[in-house]
Structure 1
């Protein structure tokens, strides 16, 4: 229960914090950390007045200096402040969630990143690429904008999907994220606003912030995806964003998918208001149920209305750093020039392999969908069996489930408690602006079934420990999490 305002709160806070004998490092830092965890869990809401230093020191049987130092650390971290006549009061933490790099330790269960192993077609594509490499080695090896044959293959695929495209409208980049970063770098000025779905891909939020832009979040609900159209219309009229970052198909992390009518209405709204849409299609063809393909967002629009970005990281393998963007030829040429100043070319060998894979992408995707469908069902079954008090909507596609946590459970606390056990999670706050979505947790279904089962069993044990009291601070086994 939240703390009250009288002196008995010292005893209540001491009970919630638990003994400090087993904390790593200085006791004051351990006390501050545990108070921060209680805030993340919602057991200490912002605005709560902390007990007087002397009272809490007596309740915890520690020195007053320890408590005073913990309060000071909380203030320095922006988690508390001193109000005249009210003592030390907890504050809502700043958006300090960190999205860690993918783990390289094979012993770590990585549920922080939605990245399956390589598709079986990858190795044959590289063998084919090696056989064709001698045709390029007599030259300088640079291909600004991409190898002509890869650009043609990408253009042909867009055309087959209902979006007529010429190779001159395609620029090859080092992955989908690189394509998005290129657009932000070239077109966004400091102070410009960018409309973003909320929640959305953390990398996009980081790119906008790094460029000095300001995110304008628009709520996205997987249960009613098309509701974003009206919200976006209002946000555009009020904020006049320069760009909009969208994932109309199986948005990361919510799994929301706009209907054909919904995407047409959203596209018309943004185009009429002069907002350039940056549309991430990296999961567009990863439908897992009977919905099948929908028209690309950019279909029926002037080419200059949209920059569509895509790549092979989800369909084939994250280690294949080949992506692309598609827009009108003039903007493509301008973006290609910007890319050329940053890097002369993506690896020709990788591009040759990507050409073979794009030409055979229907077969690659069929295998990938079957694999993800099986793993999605395993994940949902394990969640239903081990964490029935969680809400895990069934995604129709993509690579992850966006779980709603029960009251009193926070993703930040789950993430912190799971890491020492070798389970890597991404707390919900990284997918939003401010401190939103601590009550959500994205769970990819990209690990093999046996590792998914182990990961959910570990997660269930962490959840049970958090709900029963302070979590043991001794890891089960040492791991390196990066």
Structure 2
């Protein structure tokens, strides 16, 4: 069982006193949000009441009341002598847990399905009978799909054979599988900060110790920090999203890609290149060539951001020896990727460039619409120019992201707070806002954010210098 120390929990709770209500209620609300956002994993043992009270400078009575509130609402299990562990309500009837029923879900960076998906599904059903004689258990993926994806890589300048590909149940499964194949407990893994939280979870679940490297909407990657991270930690793995990084939207130039490749080769590091946002440039920019795949570089892709998240199809492009190793590891968790989903994607891959062109046009409209609406409704926020991808990493100008996300739930909007995309509670000044939803939903989300912001801004608490050290 994971245990969260009082100090570690305090780092996640910067500026938790965001209202004039009782301290115990504000404390319970913040812990509840941390559980909902996944920053406190389910089953984690929380610190003892006395330890947390001392760390936060509160009376034990206040912490006891907060824990009691969390138990009553279903977010804690407490057993005498064993402590309190985080969980979710079993009855699904908690007011603040709007994940399942909120009319607006902006917690996911996603797009509506293409109409072509239904047509491809019908064609795939027609083809399915010819594959029903096989077992359906295949760790590598259907040859028809691997050939189609291999042809795309080859056309982009990376010669690829079907044997250098594995089809997975989405990109997330690919990250988990690579982590289990490449990492041992205690190994270092470089990650971007802010970055993709599910990748953090996959790497940590394999025992990795994460080494964050800063990425900003102004300057992109901290090159000096990246070099130091490689040199000082000799990481086993570096998980990077070099094209339209999630959530900053930045892209590595050719010089930085070459420098990263050289650093990884010198330290014996495997680079996991996440290409799930590849091809979603919104300003007509030229597409960079793929990272050259060799013993030290593997590439992950998927159709979740381009075609539809409901098609759980991803892939890994790697050297054949690593693909074989992954196949042996894979059988411990799943026995292959659904056949029908693979056939649907195989129908769509030949038209992938036209699909991407349509998605870019759609996302460009969404980006521009969100930017206009935010600048009109919330002019104090800093909305960056987004080069590509599906989200905007917006600077709120104050460390209120967690409070804002909690208040937004009461307005019917679910959105991930900034610290969800970092480590140790940072990014309270930022909010990730997707713009892949239809314009009317973007309008509703901005109205909800403006209302929630008005609520939390009235009760802003000024932080001292020690607290600000934990805010990015």
The answer to whether 1:141 aligns with 2:133 is no
1:253: Cα distance to partner?
0.9
1:371: Cα distance to partner?
1.0
Range with bigger deviation, 317-326 or 262-271: 262-271
- Which of these residues, 356, 359, 364, is aligned with residue 365 of structure 1? 356
The answer to whether 1:237 aligns with 2:220 is no
- Which of these residues, 431, 443, 468, is aligned with residue 458 of structure 2? 468
Over residues 4-41 of structure 1, what are the superposed CA-to-partner deviations in whole Å (9 max), with x where a residue is unaligned? xxxxxxxxx9x975355xxxxxxx7326447989xxxx
Over residues 304-327 of structure 1, what are the superposed CA-to-partner deviations in whole Å (9 max), with x where a residue is unaligned? 111100110000111100100001
- Which of these residues, 279, 282, 302, is aligned with residue 311 of structure 1? 302
Runs of 4+ off more than 6 Å: 34-37, 46-51, 74-77
Q: Of the two, which has the highest radius of gyration?
A: 1
2:295 is paired with a residue whose SS is helix
The alpha-carbon distance between structure 1 residues 152 and 379, as it changes in their structure 2 partners (threshold 3 A), is same
The alignment's TM-score, normalised by the length of structure 2, stands at: 0.79
Counterpart of 1:333? Answer: 324
Counterpart of 1:174? Answer: 169
Counterpart of 2:409? Answer: 419
Counterpart of 2:20? Answer: 18
In the alignment of these two chains, the number of paired residues is 403
The answer to whether 1:382 aligns with 2:373 is yes
1:436 is paired with a residue whose SS is coil
Aligned counterparts of 2:287 and 2:30: Cα–Cα separation in 1: 48
1:222: Cα distance to partner?
2.7
Over residues 211-230 of structure 1, what are the superposed CA-to-partner deviations in whole Å (9 max), with x where a residue is unaligned? 221000111123222x4333
Where structure 2 has 5 or more consecutive residues not aligned to the other structure, the ranges are: 1-14, 33-51, 70-85, 89-95, 461-472
- Aligned pairs for 1:90-169 (under 5 A) are 103-105=99-101, 107-169=102-164
- Which of these residues, 186, 195, 202, is aligned with residue 200 of structure 1? 195
1:142: Cα distance to partner?
2.6
1:284: Cα distance to partner?
1.1
Q: How much is the aligned-residue C-alpha RMSD, in angstroms?
A: 2.9
1:345: Cα distance to partner?
1.7
Counterpart of 2:82? Answer: none
The alpha-carbon distance between structure 1 residues 454 and 16, as it changes in their structure 2 partners (threshold 3 A), is closer
Over residues 37-91 of structure 1, what are the superposed CA-to-partner deviations in whole Å (9 max), with x where a residue is unaligned? 9xxxxxxxx999989x8xxxxxxxxxxxxx65214567999xxxxxxxxxxxxxx
Aligned counterparts of 2:406 and 2:372: Cα–Cα separation in 1: 25
Is contact 1:190–1:213 with CA below 8 Å preserved after alignment? Answer: yes
Where structure 1 has 5 or more consecutive residues not aligned to the other structure, the ranges are: 1-12, 21-27, 38-45, 54-66, 78-95, 471-482
- Aligned pairs for 1:438-449 (under 5 A) are 438-449=428-439
Aligned counterparts of 2:325 and 2:29: Cα–Cα separation in 1: 51
Aligned counterparts of 1:414 and 1:450: Cα–Cα separation in 2: 21
- Which of these residues, 282, 285, 291, is aligned with residue 285 of structure 2? 291
Is contact 1:143–1:344 with CA below 8 Å preserved after alignment? Answer: yes
